[in-house]
Amino acid sequence: MWRALVTILLLICVAPEGFAQSYDDLDSATQKQFAKLLDKCIKAYDRNRFDDAEALCGEATAIIPHPAAAYVVARIRDRSGQCDVAVEIYRRVLETEPVGASETRWLEEYKPSIEENLSALGDCSARIDVTCEDEGGHVTVGPKVLGKCPGVFTTTVGNIGVTLSSPGKKAATQNVEAVSGRAQPVTFKALDPADAGTLTVACPEFKNGAVLFVDEVSVGECPDVLSLPKGKQRIVAKDSTGKRGLSVIDVEPSTAQQTEVMPFRKIAVECDDPELSLKLVNEGAENDIDAPCAEVAQTGGLFLIDGNYELVLSREDQQPVKLPFEVNGEPTKPLKIGALDRLPVAFSVTCEGEGVFVRIGSKTGPCPLEGTLERGNYILEARQEGHEPNDQKVELELGGQNTFHVPALEEQSFFTAGNVTAMVGGAVLIAAIAVDVSGLSDLDRVDQIKATDLSLLSVEEKAKLKIEWDGLKSAYTTRVWTTRILYPIGIAAAATGVGLIVYDLMNSSPGDFTGPEEASWTPQVLPLATADQAGAFLRWSF
C-alpha cells in the first residue's frame, strides 16, 4: 500500500511542468531532514530492503519531490520486475525541468545512468542474452525454437529452461529467471560430444547448394558429409527454387553411412465429405496431418516422399476407415476420399403375446428381435395372424437405449369392410338370380301363345290373349332392367369385398415377413365369374 502511494505521489509531483519547489529554497533544518531521509533510503536500497527504502523515499518526497528520490524508487521498481512503472518514472524525471541548482547538478550527473537504464529496459519484454563456446548451436525454450547462439531472445517472464543443442553433441540445459525489461545472461560452455555417426548426404533431384537442416538448424549444403548423433534423424533439404525434400535415417555411432534426400511429392486430395477428418502420422510426411479433409485440400493436399502410407479417415458417428496408398515418383494421382458409412446402432424389440413377427428396416424375424442398423428414423411393423397390423415410428440414436415394445395386437373383427362388402355383393347377386329364375315359368306360357292359331279364336278370346301377352312382355322388360342393374352391382361389390379380404389377409399375415418354411399359410385369390357367365339372361323378342 505504501509503495503504491509513493509511486502516485512521484508521478504527480515529478511532472513536465517542473518541480514545485527547489531543494535550495528549503531552510537549513529541512534540508538536513531531507538529506537524512534520502541517505537512509539509499542505504536500505543497497541492502535490498526495498520496502524500507521506498517508505523512506516517500517521506523525503513528502518534504520535496527531488529527482534523486524518484530515481531510487524507479530503481526499486526496476529490480522488482515492475518495468512499466520504472520506465514511466525514469521518463518523468528526464522530462521534468529542474527548478534549482541542486536539481540541475543532480540531473547532469545521473542523466547518462537514467538513459542507460531506459535503453536496457526497452519495451519491458523479458529477454535472455545467450552466449556459448559452440557458436551456431540451436537455442530452445521448451518446444519453441528461438534461434542460433549467440543472441538475445525475447521470452516469457519467470523461471525457464534454456537448452542449447548442436548436431553431433549432447544438449545442455540451464534454468534462468527471466525478468521483465531485462536481458538475463545465459552462458554455455563447450558441449560434450555425443555418440555420432558419419553420414554422406546426396540430393540427386535438387540443385547443388541445397541447404540441409536437422531439427530446423542449418547443418550444411548438399552434397555434404555430416556428423550426427546416433538415433533416427530427419534431414530436410531446400534449394534455391523452393523445392523441399526429406531423408529419414537411423544413424549408427562410429559408422559411415550414405543417404539420398527425396523430394516431397504433392498429392492433391478430393473430398466427397469436406468435414471428414484426415489423420496421417508418418516419418515420410513433411508434417503430420490431423485436420478436416476440406482444409487439407485447400492447403495444397499432402506432401510426401516416395513410400507406402496409411491415411485414417474418421467422423463422429461414422465407421473409421484406414486408406492405404503408395507414392511413387511423378506425376502423382489425386487421392479421392469417399464418404464413410454410419456406425451401426444396436436395437431390441419386445412384443406382448406370442407369434408376433416384426420388421424394422432390413431386419425381420419373430419377436423378440435384436440387431444393428444405421442411425436414423424407421417404421417398426408388427404382424400376427388373425390380428390387426401395428406400425409405429421409431428413431435409432447413437448411444441411446433403442429398446422398443410392441403392445398386444387387436384381434380382427368378422365385420370388416371386406367381409361386409362381399356379403352385400353376394346378396345382390342372389336377388338378381332369383329375379331371373322367377321368369322361367313365363317362358312356357310364351311358347304356348306363340304356337296358338289365332284364326281359330274368337274376338273375345283374342282380346284376352292380347292382354296376357302384354302382361308377359311388361314383366320381361322389368326383369331385364332389374337384372341389368343388380348383376353389375353385385359382381362389383363381391369383387371389391374379396379384394379387401385378400388385402387384409396379406397385410396381417406373418407370411410377409418370413421365409417359405416359416409362413403358416399363403392366401389365395379365387377366380370370379364374369358378367356374361353370371347373367345367363333369357333373350327373346315379340
523, pLDDT greater than 50? no
- The answer to whether residues 15 and 110 belong to one domain is yes
pLDDT (tens digit per residue) in 54-83: 888 888 888 888 888 888 888 888 777 787
359, pLDDT greater than 90? yes
Domain boundary among 387, 406, 425: 406
Q: Is 411 part of a structural domain of the chain? A: no
Report pLDDT for 11: 39
- The answer to whether residues 396 and 460 belong to one domain is no
Q: Is 300 part of a structural domain of the chain? A: yes
Q: Is 310 part of a structural domain of the chain? A: yes
Could you tell me the CATH number of the domain that includes residue 302?
Answer: 2.60.40
- The total of other beta-carbon atoms located within 10 Å of residue 354's CB is 8
The number of domains in the chain is 6
pLDDT (tens digit per residue) in 248-259: 988 888 778 899
- The answer to whether residues 184 and 200 belong to one domain is no
Residue 222 parent element (H or E): none
Q: How far apart are CA 127 and CA 118, in angstroms?
A: 15
Domain boundary among 352, 375, 406: 406
Q: Is 151 part of a structural domain of the chain? A: yes
Residue the block writes with cell 531543494 = 23
Sequence length of the chain is 542
Confidence of residue 416 (pLDDT cuts 50, 70, 90): low
Q: Is 542 part of a structural domain of the chain? A: no
Q: Is 374 part of a structural domain of the chain? A: yes
- The answer to whether residues 92 and 184 belong to one domain is no
Q: Is 541 part of a structural domain of the chain? A: no
Report pLDDT for 351: 92
Residue 203 CA, distance from chain mean position: 41
- The answer to whether residues 443 and 358 belong to one domain is no
Confidence of residue 493 (pLDDT cuts 50, 70, 90): low
pLDDT (tens digit per residue) in 440-469: 667 777 777 777 777 777 778 777 777 877
Report pLDDT for 381: 92
Could you tell me the CATH number of the domain that includes residue 139?
Answer: 2.60.40.1120
Confidence of residue 438 (pLDDT cuts 50, 70, 90): low
- The answer to whether residues 141 and 83 belong to one domain is no
Q: Is 361 part of a structural domain of the chain? A: yes
Whether the Cβ atoms of residue 191 and residue 169 lie closer than 8 Å to each other: yes
Report pLDDT for 289: 86
Q: Which of 204-208, 382-386, 430-434, 518-522 has the lowest mean pLDDT?
A: 518-522
pLDDT (tens digit per residue) in 262-285: 998 888 888 888 888 888 888 778
- The answer to whether residues 451 and 518 belong to one domain is yes
- The answer to whether residues 329 and 375 belong to one domain is no
Section 226-239 average pLDDT: 85
- The answer to whether residues 45 and 107 belong to one domain is yes
Residue the block writes with cell 533544518 = 29
- The answer to whether residues 293 and 355 belong to one domain is no
For 34-99, the DSSP string reads HHHHHHHHHHHHHTT-HHHHHHHHHHHHHH---HHHHHHHHHHHHHTT-HHHHHHHHHHHHHSPP-
| Boundaries of domain holding 157 | 126-188
Domain boundary among 95, 121, 147: 121
Report pLDDT for 505: 61
Q: Compute CA distances 154 → 146, 171, 323, whole Å.
A: 8, 21, 44
